[in-house]
Amino acid sequence: MTLALTGRYLVEYARRPLNLALLVLVPVIFVAVAAGALADFAELLGGAADAVALESAAAGWAAAFLAGVAGFFHVTGSHAPDRRLAAAGTGTSRVVAARLGSALVLALLAAVAALAALALRTGIDDVPRAVGGTVLFALTYLAIGSSIGALVRSEVNGSLLIIFVWLLDVFLGPAMTGGTDVTLVQGFPTHYVSLVMLDTPSGHSQPLGDVGFALLWTLGALTLAVLLLLRAVRPYDSASRRLRPGRARLAAGLRYGLREYRRNPALWFLLIAVPLIFVSLSFAVTPDDPAPVELTQDGATSTRMLSMIDVHGAIMVPITVGFLAGLAGLFVMLGSAEGDRRLALAGFRASEVLAARLGVIGTAALLTTAVTLGVTALDFAPQAWGSFAGATLLVAITYGLLGVLVGSLFGRLGGLYVMFLLPFLDVGLAQNIMFDVAPPDWAHFMPAYGAVQVLVDGAFTATFDQTGPLVIAVAWLAAIAGTAAVVFHRVAAPDRT
């Protein structure tokens, strides 16, 4: 019975073949493209291992993210049907076992894809360490994603929580910062398994040892996930069941769209907390070493040596707003599609519905931009605030609209995979001036290229010398906005059949 139900859940997941493809492609791209850059980044920050070990850990990070997201989406939204299935005679424990068993298959598939990419990129010197560590990464985040899915009904809240935990775990963990003696870092989910993969003894893991604590973390997380899912899927007793209950059109659409998201305080908390924590921590963990950056001032291009603290803090601004605005656009698009069709049937023009939704996305982008710039101002003063702030907003709106496109093309789970990977590759790697004095050639074809060039110019020069990149940024924004409008008209159109 349990095996048959597990197979049924896997078939349900596979009804969108693109999700399976992305489950394999995302870790492959992440390891193949990002592993080397992450190793360089960790070296700049004083990480705890050499480049080869860090690239091996990147396979674990990729598998962890994919497994966490897969576990969350595999669980959230299925509480009611799983509860009915349990009440119909299948039993709560069997439903939970099947749900976690099918999610486990997806997590292992992500781990296999990440390890295959690592083998093709650099080879695997220590197979037991790499395989065991990657699987533990995947299982730990499978449990985290499933636990969040059992507690959080909102897809955007749950997704942001997983990304929040993953970013803290990876970028403040021992691989990146080397901070093995910080008590807070020792409590991160993959602290010990990271040290095992890096072959770096922690010195604080007695009496179980680093492997023992890594296994304990994974088993504890899986146990908690099982308990939370049993609680979420257990059928209600009938006695305790409760039922839960012209300018005007455009303003009403915007007002009710904002009201929907205002009723979601966790979303706004995350939109504020993520930039507050990550931008401030980027200043705190970065060593004050010199970093070369290519700048243009008064028409003359030269390479200047700047403080790495300022460089890291400045580039974290577009990275943060790109991620958050993209996710906001993605979930505004997906969460409102059915309601937008009803509004169209009620007489709203598609342009009015689109304007209302863009107003919600714009509000989220403005909030994230304002908080990020406010946090940045505590530690860093750009040379030209106008260029710096305008470029940040350009990145936010561009990625917010990209989220609309990605949501319509890939759906919830696939869209989240893509909106994790795209800003990471674009703003986090291609445009990241910490990795090279100037972006690589392929970075010129990415959405954030022009805006980040303007941002860097405003951060470190007092004159504006980036007219060409500004034109490119505006052209990208116009093209994405036009495409998003066409897609939104198609999605919001009422079904006349």
The DSSP line for 131-162 is HHHHHHHHHHHHHHHHHHHHH---HHHHHHHH
- DSSP character at residue 179: -
pLDDT band at 397 (very low <50, low <70, confident <90, very high): very high
| Count of structural domains within the chain | 2
pLDDT tens digits, residue range 184-220?
A: 667 788 888 888 888 888 777 778 888 898 999 999 9
State the chain's maximal CA–CA distance in angstroms: 77
Q: Which has the higher per-residue pLDDT, 18 or 343?
A: 18
User: Are 73 and 162 part of one and the same domain?
Assistant: yes
Q: Cis bond leading into 27, ω under 30°?
A: no
Res 495 pLDDT > 60: no
User: Are 206 and 321 part of one and the same domain?
Assistant: no
User: Can you give the pLDDT at residue 342?
Assistant: 62
Closest among 74, 201, 62 to 135, alpha carbons compared: 62
User: Are 229 and 251 part of one and the same domain?
Assistant: no
Closest among 52, 57, 196 to 122, alpha carbons compared: 52
User: Are 221 and 267 part of one and the same domain?
Assistant: no
Instruction: Return the top range by mean pLDDT from 170-179, 268-277, 448-457.
Output: 448-457
User: Within a domain: residue 497?
Assistant: no
User: Within a domain: residue 382?
Assistant: yes
User: Within a domain: residue 154?
Assistant: yes
Write out the two tokens for 494. 């009422």
User: Are 56 and 153 part of one and the same domain?
Assistant: yes
pLDDT tens digits, residue range 477-494?
A: 999 988 887 876 766 555
User: Can you give the pLDDT at residue 247?
Assistant: 47
User: Are 261 and 176 part of one and the same domain?
Assistant: no
Please state, in angstroms and rounded to a whole number, the distance separating the CA atoms of residues 224 and 229: 9
pLDDT band at 402 (very low <50, low <70, confident <90, very high): very high
User: Within a domain: residue 239?
Assistant: no
Write out the two tokens for 297. 């001032």
User: Can you give the pLDDT at residue 236?
Assistant: 61
User: Are 437 and 459 part of one and the same domain?
Assistant: yes
User: Are 146 and 272 part of one and the same domain?
Assistant: no
User: Are 161 and 268 part of one and the same domain?
Assistant: no
User: Are 70 and 105 part of one and the same domain?
Assistant: yes
User: Are 461 and 415 part of one and the same domain?
Assistant: yes
Res 304 pLDDT > 70: yes
Backbone angles phi, psi at 306, to 5 degrees: -120, 165
User: Within a domain: residue 242?
Assistant: no
User: Within a domain: residue 60?
Assistant: yes
Angle made by CA atoms 218, 68, 63, in degrees to the nearest 5: 80
Please state, in angstroms and rounded to a whole number, the distance separating the CA atoms of residues 102 and 6: 5
User: Can you give the pLDDT at residue 243?
Assistant: 38
Residues of the domain holding 280: 247-492
Q: Which has the higher per-residue pLDDT, 297 or 35?
A: 297
Domain boundary among 200, 233, 266: 233
Single pTM value for the model = 0.75
**3-class DSSP state of 178:** coil
User: Can you give the pLDDT at residue 240?
Assistant: 42
**3-class DSSP state of 50:** coil
User: Can you give the pLDDT at residue 395?
Assistant: 94
User: Within a domain: residue 462?
Assistant: yes
Mean pLDDT, the chain, rounded, equals 80
Domain boundary among 233, 261, 291: 233
pLDDT tens digits, residue range 406-440?
A: 888 887 778 888 888 898 889 988 888 887 777 88
pLDDT band at 378 (very low <50, low <70, confident <90, very high): confident
Which residues does 467 contact at the CB level (< 8 Å), separation at least 6? none
User: Are 174 and 262 part of one and the same domain?
Assistant: no
Domain boundary among 204, 233, 262: 233
Res 31 pLDDT > 60: yes
Q: What is the DSSP string of 367-423?
A: HHHHHHHHHHHHH---S-HHHHHHHHHHHHHHHHHHHHHHHHHHHHHHHHHHHHHHH
